């Protein structure tokens, strides 16, 4: 038999031993009670027998005394009464003794003798006559009854004398027997009591051992419970048991409280646990999955692979905790003889792991982007790169300045958005033109954050935290480019880039990239850029970049369409700068699709910029002016090239800031021409930049 | 680079203090990157961070703001020591919040309190420094997070 089996049977053995001892003790107690009763009766019998021993001689004495009274003719009534009383007493005591004695044979000879006594005494005791006769002649003499009485007394006296010794001996023997019996009973009682005490001691010892053993087990169980509690309090994982009804058991780890912000888990349904944190559809899927675990044929390892909660994104119902967390649920079946008893569920907050994985992914993407950037940089003219980096530096300083301006109300925050969008879009355009995709992507992401704020009902500083974080990322990225460029000596020894020198290559590069992306063929022709004053270079470069991108994306058709319109496959975008009598003129013209006013109006209505009624009342000139409105774009979706409706807004604002004006001429299917006029000595060009 | 999540943890630690202790929530202003030395207010609570990130987080507030906060907290002593304790307590709450959310990722020093004529904080080399204005009632403080 194994040790464990032996250990398991120990309580049964103890119970049997205890029961036997209790039975023995009970028997001892009952026997002791009986013996004590018997002893008490024996002692009473001994006392009764002792008392009877005096009677035979007393009866002889009383019979003799009565006889003597009759002889001297004394009064005999009292003596006769005394004799009757003694006889009755003896008889009663003898009957009492017979009732006490458990051995009827012992009193047989005494009772035999007493019956003789009673027979001898009967005439005396039954005497009711007058024993004397008085006469004057012969004084007092015995009457006939008196003589009969005298004879009976004499007979009784002789009988008593003859049996006195035997009677004494019989009574003494009875007394002796009774004493011996009482003594034996007392001895048995003493032995019994000793046995009882011993049994009681053994029982007490067993009880004490059981109590100690139980206390030891309880202490061990308590320690085990405490250790379990310590484990559950310390582990960072949430643990709980689920029953077949999806209810949580009475034990769970404290980490669960931190994860779900509640403490009432006992009996809580799994559905209620997840409610508010994940969508209802996810909860339904989770419950179906848990149900599968209860099936006898479910393969746990296989089940793990389809666990829908292996990385669950949860959103706290607490509005202060907007950040999603990621919880990893793991399920293990707890089985018993009857099959699956519970499902043990462990929950781990893997938010940090997810964040780390993302960081790694971002880092990898960053490395890829850096490589791409490196390749792009080697393709980019050092002068243009240096110029862009300076522009970006200045642009992002301006972005940061917009962020730094104090804001408390929704209007304050909303007022920043347009400026941020304009600056970021202008930079993005230039980065795209130079094929610096890493920078353009980051600018696009930042622009997306800013753009996302526009649709929010109310804006606060919280909404700007992601923007400033992305800005920081971009600044760090640009710093990296500058460092790499310096290491590669791409810009270090280059002559300071002239802004005007850099414009044409930027436009050509932008056009080439857009042509490639949109499967178009186009050529940019630049004229007169060397005449652009340095003070206007930055502002006009921004305008040119936007206008050329606009022409490339929206104006120039793809070769197939151009052929149907009797045009050459290669579209032409020409940009000309010239001095005029009162200032400068910048013209950007493309031989593309032109602007269709009705299409512009329809898009504006669709984007909510104008109502249908306003559109209907709008003339062609006003319709074309819509393209300069912030938020207008005919592009179907937002991309690096177009779609936010910011580009032309940048142009319009820049020209306005320079104190200039902009004109548009177009013919659908033929061309579009933008003509920007900037007066000499207009507003501060730096401010416009 | 500092992640938005990390930034939020420090901001929430600060605003939580106002909500719980001063019984009126604080809002944050427009955050920006620090490009030039930033002058501190009269009292500043500073914690140093090491581990996955290195740097400092500093809450700096003007005396007038701290005085109103103390009033809202039913304090009757507006002395120097009490103000030092208060600004230290804000830094302590930021630290506790960060410990709770970051766990072992960061090691955070006990708060250090600066007061009086303290030199401006310089942008840390190699670290981008974020400045987050904290608005409470009509007063403004700043939370400076400079980690790399």
Q: Say if residue A634's pLDDT is above 80.
A: no
pLDDT of amino acid A683: 54
Higher-confidence residue of A1 and B25: namely B25
Find the residue in A nearest to B102 (Cα): A352
Query: Residue A316 belongs to what H/E stretch?
Result: none
pLDDT of amino acid A1: 45
Residue A464 and residue B1: Cβ atoms within 8 Å? no
Higher-confidence residue of B100 and B41: namely B41
User: Is there a contact between B61 and B88 (Cβ–Cβ < 8 Å)?
Assistant: no
Residue A403 and residue B2: Cβ atoms within 8 Å? no
Q: Using CA atoms, how far apart are residues A391 and A443, in angstroms rounded to an integer?
A: 14
Question: Is residue A458 within 8 angstroms of chain B, CB to CB?
Answer: no
Tokens of A573: 């975008």
Taking only the tens place, the pLDDT of each residue in A158-197 is 888 888 888 888 888 888 888 888 888 888 888 888 888 8
Residue B4 and residue A320: Cβ atoms within 8 Å? no
For residue B143, name the pLDDT band (cuts at 50, 70, 90): very high
pLDDT of amino acid A592: 92
Q: Mean pLDDT across the stretch A50-55?
A: 84
| Cβ contacts of A361 within 8 Å, gap of 6 or more | none
Taking only the tens place, the pLDDT of each residue in A611-626 is 888 888 888 888 888 8
Q: Is the dihedral of CA A357, A358, A359, A363 positive or negative?
A: positive
Q: Mean pLDDT across the stretch A289-302?
A: 80
Q: Say if residue A588's pLDDT is above 90.
A: yes
Taking only the tens place, the pLDDT of each residue in A639-662 is 545 554 557 877 888 888 888 999
Q: What percent of chain A has pLDDT over 70?
A: 91
Q: Which of A40-49, A269-278, A380-389, A424-433 has the lowest mean pLDDT?
A: A380-389
Q: Mean pLDDT across the stretch B51-72?
A: 90
Nearest by CB to residue A404, choosing from B3, B32, B128, is: B32
Q: Determine the distance in angstroms separating the CA of B74 from the nearest CA of chain A, rounded to an integer.
A: 26
Q: Determine the distance in angstroms separating the CA of A459 from the nearest CA of chain B, rounded to an integer.
A: 10
Question: Is residue A407 within 8 angstroms of chain B, CB to CB?
Answer: yes
Question: Which positions in chain A touch B128 (Cβ < 8 Å)?
Answer: 472, 475-476
Q: Determine the distance in angstroms separating the CA of B26 from the nearest CA of chain A, rounded to an integer.
A: 11
Chain A segment 339-398 residues within 8 A of B by beta carbon are 352, 355, 359, 397
pLDDT of amino acid A489: 66
Taking only the tens place, the pLDDT of each residue in A90-118 is 888 888 888 877 777 778 888 888 888 88
Cross-strand pairs, B121? B38
Question: Which positions in chain A touch B103 (Cβ < 8 Å)?
Answer: 352
For residue A2, name the pLDDT band (cuts at 50, 70, 90): very low
Q: What is the mean pLDDT of chain A?
A: 83
Q: Which of A74-88, A197-211, A492-506 has the highest mean pLDDT?
A: A74-88
The structural domain count of chain B equals 1
Taking only the tens place, the pLDDT of each residue in A439-455 is 888 899 999 989 888 88
pLDDT of amino acid A322: 53
| Long-range CB contact pairs, A229-238, < 8 A, 24+ | A236/A348, A236/A349, A237/A346, A237/A347, A237/A348, A238/A345, A238/A346, A238/A347, A238/A348
Q: What percent of chain A has pLDDT over 90?
A: 12
Residue A461 and residue B132: Cβ atoms within 8 Å? yes
Taking only the tens place, the pLDDT of each residue in B9-24 is 889 889 888 888 888 8
Q: Using CA atoms, how far apart are residues A456 and A387, in angstroms rounded to an integer?
A: 36
Find, among A578, A618, A582, the residue nearest to A601 by Cα.
Answer: A618
Q: Say if residue A638's pLDDT is above 60.
A: no
Picking from B32, B145, B146 by the largest number of A CB atoms within 10 A of its own CB, the best residue to mutate is: B32
The count of CB pairs under 8 A between chains A and B is 74
Q: Determine the distance in angstroms separating the CA of A688 from the nearest CA of chain B, rounded to an integer.
A: 22
Find the residue in B nearest to A323 (Cα): B5
Number of residues assigned to chain B? 148
Q: Which of A115-129, A478-492, A559-573, A665-679 has the lowest mean pLDDT?
A: A478-492
pLDDT of amino acid A584: 92
Domain that holds residue B81: 4-147
For residue B1, name the pLDDT band (cuts at 50, 70, 90): low
Q: Using CA atoms, how far apart are residues B86 and A386, in angstroms rounded to an integer?
A: 49
User: Is there a contact between A443 and A431 (Cβ–Cβ < 8 Å)?
Assistant: yes
For residue A571, name the pLDDT band (cuts at 50, 70, 90): very high
The CATH number of the domain holding residue B24 is 3.40.1550.10
For residue B145, name the pLDDT band (cuts at 50, 70, 90): very high
Chain A segment 234-253 residues within 8 A of B by beta carbon are none
Q: Say if residue A688's pLDDT is above 60.
A: no
Q: Determine the distance in angstroms separating the CA of A668 from the nearest CA of chain B, rounded to an integer.
A: 45
Q: Using CA atoms, how far apart are residues A645 and A629, in angstroms rounded to an integer?
A: 8
């Amino acid at each position: 038999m194994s040790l464990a089996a032996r250990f398991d049977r120990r309580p049964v053995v103890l119970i049997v031993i205890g029961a036997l001892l209790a039975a023995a003790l009970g028997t001892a107690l009952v026997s002791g009670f009986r013996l004590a009763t018997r002893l008490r009766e024996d002692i009473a019998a001994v006392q009764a027998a002792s008392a009877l021993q005096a009677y035979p001689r007393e009866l002889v004495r009383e019979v003799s005394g009565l006889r003597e009274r009759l002889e001297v003719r004394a009064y005999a009534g009292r003596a006769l009464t005394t004799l009757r009383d003694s006889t009755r007493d003896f008889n009663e005591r003898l009957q009492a003794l017979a009732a006490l004695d458990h051995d009827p044979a012992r009193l047989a000879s005494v009772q035999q003798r007493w019956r003789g006594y009673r027979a001898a005494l009967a005439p005396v005791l039954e005497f009711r006559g007058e024993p004397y006769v008085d006469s004057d002649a012969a004084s007092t003499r015995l009457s006939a009854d008196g003589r009969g009485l005298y004879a009976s007394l004499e007979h009784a006296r002789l009988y008593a004398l003859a049996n006195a010794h035997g009677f004494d001996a019989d009574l003494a023997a009875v007394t002796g027997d009774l004493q011996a019996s009482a003594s034996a009973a007392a001895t048995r009682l003493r032995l019994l009591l000793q046995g009882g005490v011993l049994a009681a001691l053994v029982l007490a010892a067993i009880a004490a051992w059981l109590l100690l053993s139980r206390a030891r087990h309880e202490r061990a169980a308590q320690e085990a419970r405490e250790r379990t509690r310590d484990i559950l309090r310390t582990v960072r994982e949430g643990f709980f048991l689920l029953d077949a009804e999806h209810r949580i058991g009475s034990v769970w780890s404290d980490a669960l409280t931190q994860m779900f912000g509640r403490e009432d888990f006992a009996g809580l349904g799994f559905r209620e646990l997840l409610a508010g944190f994940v969508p209802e559809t996810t909860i339904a899927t989770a419950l179906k999955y848990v149900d599968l675990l209860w099936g006898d044929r479910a393969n746990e390892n296989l089940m793990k692979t389809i666990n829908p909660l292996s990385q669950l994104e949860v959103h706290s119902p607490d509005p202060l905790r907007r950040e999603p967390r990621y919880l990893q649920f793991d399920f293990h079946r707890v089985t018993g003889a009857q099959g699956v008893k519970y499902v043990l569920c462990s929950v781990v907050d893997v938010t940090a792991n997810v964040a780390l994985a993302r960081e790694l992914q971002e880092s990898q993407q960053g490395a890829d982007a850096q490589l791409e950037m490196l390749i792009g940089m080697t393709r980019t003219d050092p002068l243009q790169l240096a110029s862009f980096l300076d522009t970006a530096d200045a642009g992002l300083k301006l972005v940061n300045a917009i962020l730094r301006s104090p804001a408390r109300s929704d209007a304050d925050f909303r007022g920043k958005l347009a400026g941020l969008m304009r600056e970021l879009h202008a930079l993005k355009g230039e980065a795209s033109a130079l094929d610096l995709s890493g920078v353009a992507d980051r600018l696009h992401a930042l622009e997306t954050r800013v753009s996302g704020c526009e649709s929010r009902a109310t804006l606060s500083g919280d909404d700007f935290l992601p923007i400033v974080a992305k800005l920081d990322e971009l600044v760090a990225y640009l710093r990296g480019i500058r460092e790499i460029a310096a290491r590669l000596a791409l810009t270090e020894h280059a002559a300071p880039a002239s802004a005007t020198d850099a414009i044409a290559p930027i436009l050509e590069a932008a056009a080439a990239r857009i042509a490639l992306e949109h499967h178009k063929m186009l050529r940019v022709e630049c004229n007169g850029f060397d005449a652009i004053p340095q003070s206007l270079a930055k502002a006009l470069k921004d305008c040119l970049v936007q206008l050329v991108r606009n022409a490339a994306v929206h104006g120039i058709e793809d070769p197939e369409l151009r052929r149907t319109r009797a045009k050459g496959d290669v579209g032409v975008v020409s940009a000309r700068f010239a001095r005029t009598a009162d200032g400068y003129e910048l013209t950007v013209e493309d031989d593309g699709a032109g602007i269709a006013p009705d299409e512009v109006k329809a898009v504006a209505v669709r984007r909510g910029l104008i109502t249908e009624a306003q559109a209907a009342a709008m003339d062609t000139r006003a319709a074309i002016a819509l393209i300069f409105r912030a938020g207008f774009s005919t592009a179907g979706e937002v991309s690096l090239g177009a779609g936010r409706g910011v580009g032309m807004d940048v142009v319009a604002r820049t020209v306005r800031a320079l104190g200039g004006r902009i004109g548009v001429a177009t013919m659908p299917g033929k061309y579009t021409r933008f003509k920007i006029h900037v007066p000499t000595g207009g507003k501060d060009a730096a401010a416009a930049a | 680079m500092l992640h938005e999540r990390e930034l939020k943890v420090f901001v929430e630690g600060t605003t939580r203090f106002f909500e719980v202790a001063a019984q009126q929530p604080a809002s944050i202003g427009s955050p920006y990157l620090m490009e030039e030395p930033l002058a501190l207010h009269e009292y500043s609570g500073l914690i140093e961070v090491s581990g996955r990130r290195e740097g400092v987080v500093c809450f700096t507030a003007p005396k007038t703001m701290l005085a109103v906060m103390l009033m809202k907290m039913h304090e009757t002593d507006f002395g120097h020591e009490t103000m030092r304790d208060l600004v230290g307590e804000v830094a302590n709450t930021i630290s506790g919040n960060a410990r709770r959310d970051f766990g072992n990722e960061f090691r955070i020093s006990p708060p250090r309190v600066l007061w009086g004529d303290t030199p401006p904080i310089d942008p840390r080399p190699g670290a981008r420094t974020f400045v987050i204005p904290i608005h409470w009632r009509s007063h403004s403080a700043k939370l400076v997070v400079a980690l790399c």
